[in-house]
Amino acid sequence: MKYLLGIDLGTSSVKTILVDQEGRMIGSETAGYPLEQPFPGWAEQNPKVWWYATVAALDGLFKKSGVDPRQIEGIGLSGQMHGSVFLDENKQVLRPAILWCDQRTAAECEWIEKNVGPEKWNRWVANRPLTGFTAPKILWVKKHEPEIYRHIRHILLPKDYIRFRLTGELATEVSDASGTLLFDVVRRTWSKEMFDVLDIPADWMPAAHESHFVSSVITSEVADRLGLKKGVPVVGGGGDNAAGAVGTGVVKTGRVLVSLGTSGVVFAHSDQPLVDIENRLHSFCHAVAGKWHTMGVILSAAECLKWWRTNVGQQEEQIAKQSGRSVYDVMCEAADTVPPGSNGLLFLPYLLGERTPYADPDARGAFIGMTLRHDKAAMTRAVLEGVAFALRDSLEIMKQLQIPLSEIRVTGGGAKSKVWRQIIADIMGIEVVSLAVDEGPAYGAALLAGEGAGLYPSVEEACENFIRTEDRILPNPERLQRYDEYYKIYRQMYGVLQNQFHRLSELEKQQY
Ligand SMILES: Nc1ncnc2c1ncn2[C@@H]1O[C@H](COP(=O)(O)OP(=O)(O)O)[C@@H](O)[C@H]1O
Ligand SMILES: O=C(CO)[C@@H](O)[C@H](O)COP(=O)(O)O
């Protein structure tokens, strides 16, 4: 039997999975790491920590699965997008990576807005500048850390640092490159014009390949250390959402991916490049060769539930321990006893600022409409609903763009909750499908490795052969109607509170 390895470098942990050539999941292992927030709005991680976690997870995976690692025929990578890893001439890490949810680059985005403007950025890179994207981070380092900037010779995206440690090669692929603001998404190549106007050396970014392409093989040292055979190919892989779309079979028009990870994503496949000229959504390359996708991203999705659990979930932790269940299951079951609409309570999930549809680093979260009747269960339900309302904002834009939306496939940690899946179906008004085996981006990365290693003729065919749907949840018409009323109010709340959010952020920053 031949095996494939998928590695997904998430924001909270790295997940490694082993898949056999028939697409069956053989085993998985994760290793976590912290998110550093040294200043309000900043988010960083040390790339070396990613690598140590990856090696630890792979050691655990091989030990647990009992599979001889020498039977592995290909490796695929996926990971959190947009983060920047700065390397010097010796390919040493110069500073912690600045992540996708880091909000420090508002001034750099403004500069790009003034000096480039929508007509050019739509023509060159199909996307507007956003604080999470890579190029503004480079400009920030140039201005605030000139000593570091002087030493930069290479810039990598997070998963591509793992590729570098596995293979010694500097490379990326089109889906992740799309989120740098330096990539011509329509022509699937780097944009010389954007490098020139931002005065960023083009040779700092690595070669960008199609996602199934094998650009390199593992080094002998890595083969020896991990017990792999020499020369195992590593394919391009994908940004976590594009790889997640492959891993859930979102490789056809009409299928939509909703990801409930740290961030929340609504992702629609497209056969042609579809540029939202108003730039409300991202227009990126898909990890499927010659295909694209349109995507809305909220910065804090399942992270809201994690935040809520961390701060108020001690009692639920105890119950979970005693009953051998996940604390999230305990919390979601309690939320299920509360009627839709949480008895008139709304939650705005902008705990990390926001991206879609409000590109606002200083947006903040809120509970709105509290009364003495509201208890913890109602507030938990409001958190789940608030995330779903925020995702519906992206779906509404997709409807305006006439993107076909026939079925939602859910993935990410939050998708484990049937209660949350039902809320998504009832708020979005579209059937929500979960998968028999949901390993999301890591599985997509493994299937891409299978195409690259020549085990499958195409990743689309592998998806159709191997991905099985399990649970189908239809929207309940009564609840949908009730949620429509709540959504009308939800939509107004950001506009109402925007100025107050900004003032609060200013006051908080003054204390540092
Ligand atoms: N059973 C569950 N029910 C609801 N939410 C869950 C459950 N298990 C995990 N989660 C949520 O999923 C999150 C982790 O999601 P994941 O997709 O692994 O994140 P990332 O890829 O961004 O690191 C947790 O923080 C938690 O909020
Ligand atoms: O910024 C984006 C996509 O544009 C995020 O989706 C990141 O890619 C992080 O993903 P998760 O760790 O939440 O999966």
ipTM: 0.96
298 pLDDT above the threshold of 90: yes
- Atom nearest to 301 CA in ligand 2: 13
Give the pLDDT score at 437.
86
Band the pLDDT of 234: cuts 50, 70, 90. Answer: very high
What are 285's two structure tokens?
């390359």
Write out the H or E segment, with its range, that includes residue 509: helix 477-510
Q: What's the CA-to-centroid distance between 202 and ligand 2, angstroms?
A: 25
Q: What's the CA-to-centroid distance between 373 and ligand 2, angstroms?
A: 36
**CB-defined site of ligand 1, < 6 Å:** 10-13, 261-262, 302, 305-306, 326, 328-329, 332, 412-414, 416-417, 420
CB 385 within 8 A of CB 423: yes
What are 378's two structure tokens?
């109602």
Q: What's the CA-to-centroid distance between 263 and ligand 2, angstroms?
A: 5
Selection from 85, 84, 88 nearest residue 147 by Cα: 88
The ligand placed nearest to the CA atom of residue 418 is: 1
Selection from 411, 397, 403 nearest residue 301 by Cα: 411
Band the pLDDT of 363: cuts 50, 70, 90. Answer: very high
Q: Are strands 346-348 and 282-285 parallel, antiparallel or unpaired?
A: unpaired
What are 106's two structure tokens?
């508002």
SS3 152: coil
- Atom nearest to 414 CA in ligand 1: 5
Give the pLDDT score at 438.
87
| Mean pLDDT, range 230-243, rounded to an integer | 98
Ligand 2 contact via 242 beta carbon (within 6 Å): no
Selection from 286, 490, 246 nearest residue 392 by Cα: 490
- Atom nearest to 265 CA in ligand 2: 6
The ligand placed nearest to the CA atom of residue 297 is: 2
Residue 481: count of CB within 10 angstroms of its CB? 11
Please state, in angstroms and rounded to a whole number, the distance separating the CA atoms of residues 379 and 374: 7
CATH topology of domain 296-436+471-502: Nucleotidyltransferase; domain 5 (3.30.420)
Ligand 1: which residue has its CA nearest to atom 14? Answer: 413
Write out the H or E segment, with its range, that includes residue 55: helix 47-65
Active site residues: 240
Ligand 2 contact via 356 beta carbon (within 6 Å): no
> Residues at the annotated binding site?
81-82
Reported as a single tens digit per residue, the pLDDT across 161-170 is: 999 999 999 9
Q: What single-letter DSSP state applies at residue 204?
A: G
Give the pLDDT score at 425.
98
What are 334's two structure tokens?
């309690």
| Mean pLDDT, range 237-254, rounded to an integer | 97
Reported as a single tens digit per residue, the pLDDT across 170-194 is: 999 999 999 999 999 999 999 999 9
Q: What is the CA radius of gyration of the chain?
A: 22
Give the pLDDT score at 329.
98
DSSP string computed for 362-405: T---EEES--TT--HHHHHHHHHHHHHHHHHHHHHHHHHTT--E
The ligand placed nearest to the CA atom of residue 244 is: 2
- Atom nearest to 259 CA in ligand 2: 14
- Report domain extents, the chain: 3-248, 296-436+471-502
511 pLDDT above the threshold of 90: no
Reported as a single tens digit per residue, the pLDDT across 409-457 is: 999 999 999 999 999 999 999 999 999 988 989 999 999 999 999 999 9
CB 181 within 8 A of CB 125: yes
Ligand 1 pocket mutation pick from 8, 9, 12, 384 by most atoms within 8 angstroms of CB: 12
Helices (H), 152-290: 158-167, 174-177, 192-198, 220-226, 240-247
Reported as a single tens digit per residue, the pLDDT across 124-145 is: 999 999 999 999 999 999 999 9
Domain 3-248, classified CATH 3.40.50.150, yes or no: no
Ligand 1: which residue has its CA nearest to atom 4? Answer: 414
Please state, in angstroms and rounded to a whole number, the distance separating the CA atoms of residues 373 and 47: 46
Q: What's the CA-to-centroid distance between 98 and ligand 2, angstroms?
A: 13
> Residues at the annotated binding site for substrate?
81-82
Selection from 128, 134, 126 nearest residue 112 by Cα: 128
Band the pLDDT of 512: cuts 50, 70, 90. Answer: confident
Reported as a single tens digit per residue, the pLDDT across 383-412 is: 999 999 999 999 999 999 999 999 999 999
Count helices and strands (H / E) in the chain. Answer: 18, 24
**Does 3-248 match 296-436+471-502 in CATH topology?**
yes
Q: What single-letter DSSP state applies at residue 475?
A: P
The ligand placed nearest to the CA atom of residue 416 is: 1
Q: Mean of the per-residue pLDDT values for the chain? A: 97
What are 262's two structure tokens?
């740290």
CB 8 within 8 A of CB 446: no
Ligand 1 pocket mutation pick from 416, 419, 471 by most atoms within 8 angstroms of CB: 416
What are 480's two structure tokens?
């949908």
Q: How far is CA 177 from the centre of its chain?
A: 14
Range 235-249 burial, b when 16+ CB lie within 10 A, else e: bbbbbbbbbbbbbbb
Backbone dihedral angles phi then psi of residue 33, each to the nearest 5 degrees: -155, 155
Helices (H), 191-301: 192-198, 220-226, 240-247
Give the pLDDT score at 51.
98
Give the relative orientation of helices 418-428 and 477-510 as an angle to the nearest 10 degrees.
100
Reported as a single tens digit per residue, the pLDDT across 90-113 is: 999 999 999 999 999 999 999 999
Ligand 2: which residue has its CA nearest to atom 6? Answer: 263
Which residues, listed in sequence order, are joined to residue 473 by a DSSP beta bridge?
432
Q: What's the CA-to-centroid distance between 287 and ligand 1, angstroms?
A: 23
